Amino acid sequence: MKLSPQRLATVAQRDGAIAWRVGQWLVDDMVAGHVLLADEIFLSVKQLLARTLLDLAVDHQGRWLVYETQQNLADAIGSVRAVTGRALSDLRDAGFLVREGRALRILDRAGLRAMIDE
């Protein structure tokens, strides 16, 4: 469904329940934006990479795989390929993931989540 901003405002003025839901959505969206901004400022490269890997992972027959290049991952976290490559190596050495062909397989999703929250 598509509504113009003017139509949404008209409907919200007439129906308090709709206005309330729109307000909730706006607050949720604003909070999510602040969380992402805080992450960009305060998380380490390794933590940003862990979050990005979890976001990009797809379930393929019970295996969580990420099909991205190091350069794409670096771009996603605002880093350079060399630094991202070192962080990936650290995550592999720690047992969080392995390379499977052209994909990265996440072995320990809970561990990656815990690392983000450190």
The pLDDT of residue 109 is above 90: yes
The pLDDT of residue 108 is above 70: yes
User: Are 53 and 89 a contacting pair, CB within 8 Å?
Assistant: no
User: Are 46 and 91 a contacting pair, CB within 8 Å?
Assistant: yes
- Residue in the structure block whose two tokens are 């405002």: 9
Q: How far is CA 72 from CA 21, 46, 62, 107, in A?
A: 36, 15, 24, 21
- Please give the residue that has the higher pLDDT: either 33 or 19: 19
pLDDT value at position 14?
Answer: 86
Strands ordered across the beta sheet of 97-100 = 58-60, 63-66, 103-106, 97-100
User: Are 97 and 87 a contacting pair, CB within 8 Å?
Assistant: no
- Please give the residue that has the higher pLDDT: either 11 or 32: 11
pLDDT band of 35, cuts 50, 70, 90:
low
pLDDT value at position 40?
Answer: 61
pLDDT value at position 25?
Answer: 81
Among residues 18, 71, 76, 79, the alpha carbon closest in space to that of 45 is found at: 79
**pTM assigned to the model:** 0.67
